[in-house]
Amino acid sequence: MTNKEKYYDEFMAPKLLELAKEAQVHGLSFLSIVEWAPGKTGRTHYAVQGEQGLAFRMTNWAAQCHGNVDSFWLAMQRYAIKFGHSSIFLHNQGIPEQSEMTISVKING
C-alpha cells in the first residue's frame, strides 16, 4: 500500500462516507472518486433509487469500469435496453429506441 492510498483510506474515505450519508439523509445522490495512482481509485457512491440522471449514471459507470471502454459500453447498452434512448450509436447497434417496459406495455396493453 502506498502512502497516498493509506492517506486516502485513513483520512479521506471516512470523510467522503460521511458526506455520502449526509446526502442520503437529504435525498441527494452522491459520487466521489479519488485516484492515488494511474488506475488506482477509491469510489464513494450513494444514489437515490430511480432518481439519478443519465449523466450521473454515466459518471458512476466510468468510475466502476476503471477505463475499460467495453464495460462502460455494456453498461450503457443495458441501460438503453431497459429505459430507452435516442442515440444514433445505440440504434446502429440494433438496440431499440423504446424501452423494454414500453414495448411490454404495448404488447400486453
Q: So what's the pLDDT on residue 3?
A: 97
Taking the whole predicted model, whether its pTM rises above 0.75 is answered as yes
- Beta strand extents in 1-92 (DSSP E only): 30-37, 40-46
Query: Which residue has cell 442520503?
Result: 24
* Segments of the chain with pLDDT less than 70: 100-109
Rg (CA), the chain: 18
Instruction: Identify whether the C-beta of residue 86 lies closer than 8 Å to the C-beta of residue 97.
Output: yes
Question: How many distinct helices (H) and strands (E) make up the chain?
Answer: 6, 2
Q: So what's the pLDDT on residue 2?
A: 92
The DSSP call for residue 70 is H
Left (φ > 0), alpha (ψ -120 to 50) or beta: where does 67 sit? left
